[in-house]
Structure 1
């Protein structure tokens, strides 16, 4: 499987994976800083519960990123946002790069 080239991942983002709700609010796992490509563009997306909403930032990262919907992401400009949806892109046997696409509020 071909991975997205590291040279294209020009930004660094911090991801705190959502692990569930507690009596005090959402709980997050340990933060990790990953290399990514961030695009600040407004796009209409569908949440995991089926509702349509607007994404203002898209993050492309290497495969294996654990970032379920509800996770907290700190973008390169310092803005903290919430993950709306994630998609793993892979095409085994084809010469296209595998990556994880994260749509953020």
Structure 2
């Protein structure tokens, strides 16, 4: 797949993997709550990049990149909230937010 060559997609995949590892420590009572939400947002980022890359026009690709960027900001917000409620350490929150900022700048 051509999408695998895109640095932005590779970075988004790394971010999604990190989110899965970090959220594995969340309370099991949150599996259908914030854990699910944060994981869906993380998976949505590389998925939308891939879907956009698979489209036939630059306009469509840009549209899906913007959708991915929206999911990126959603993920950032959910990480900050998870830190505030004690599910995510300050260090892990900082790591994810930093990865989000780097990805948004790509």
Give TM-score, length-normalised by structure 1.
0.25
Considering fraction of residues, name the structure with more helix. Answer: 2
